[in-house]
Amino acid sequence: MVRQKDSLYEFNPGKFIMPLEYSFLLQDILNFEVRPDDVWLISFNRTGSTWCQEIIWLIANNLDFEKATSTIQQLRAPVIEMSLYYADNPEFCKVFGGNSVEYVKGLPSPRFIKSHVPYFHLPTQLHTIKPKIIYLTRNPKDVCQSYHPHMQMFFGMNVNFEETAKMFCKGKVPLGDMLDHALEFWKRRNEPHILFLKYEDLRSNTKGTIRLIAEFLEKPLTDEEIDKIYDFLTLTKMKDNPSVNMETLTAFHEKNGRDNGGVPFIGNGKIGAWKERMTPEISKMFDDWIEEKTEGTGLQF
């Protein structure tokens, strides 16, 4: 197969849409050796996973704010398929040795691992060893709103918002169908090693959700510790923190001709931001798609 620049391919099962380079990582991810004390965060893109991962990491690392500021999240709590997303950035790939799966393998326990791949593409040992897994989802309308500039920056997809919305509802954007992605974990949400979260709860009840995550990780926090995490991870401070704001990586893409309209990697986090851009027709298209996909599941947004 000949690779075309910025081309995307469908990988099955799961109709997962990714660049061709994913084919070189898939088997390594499936065969990845899971440890019982791993902590995994799994989500679709643009659901608030960078924010949630910082909460997880800080709780488990005794509120080490110094390291959370000095060491980028991609090295402390890497995305296992990370080398796929930065394949065209050789300088950054050198930082983790070029293969993110191998990099994660070599991390000391406990490891904090993030992934955006769907359920059927995750390590098979997750189903038997069952480490702690946190799944994060978000209102698909807000995900689409945030995903549009992200697709331009990271996947070179220069399409208008209306076309992005249509592709999103058809599951034809990078990562594929967001609801299929979420539903695999929603139907497993009652398994004791899985915590299913919604961005809206994290945003509207941040301190309560921090406490919930801490209890799930068996690392209870005092009210004072929760306040410290809350203050450290305000959106304003995250936008100014180079360890999470991705400024060096987005600058690389901008230098190489990928324009996302100046939208920062850390967005405004607003619930209902889709209302500022979606027409009534696009909103209804989303409503119909969500209703069809989630009927009888109990999952609501």
Identify whether 253 is a catalytic site residue. no
CA atoms within 13 Å, Cβ hemisphere of 255: 8
Phi and psi (nearest 5°) for 127? -80, -15
Q: Is 156 exposed, middle or buried (0-12, 13-18, 19+ CB in 10 A)?
A: middle
The vertex-124 CA angle with 41 and 54, nearest 5°, equals 10
In angstroms, the CA 160 to CA 180 distance is: 24
Answer whether 109's CB lies under 8 Å from 129's CB.
Answer: no
39: enclosing H helix or E strand? strand 39-43
Phi and psi (nearest 5°) for 79? -80, 125
Residue in 116, 121, 148, 253 annotated catalytic: 116
Instruction: Catalogue the active-site residues.
Output: 116
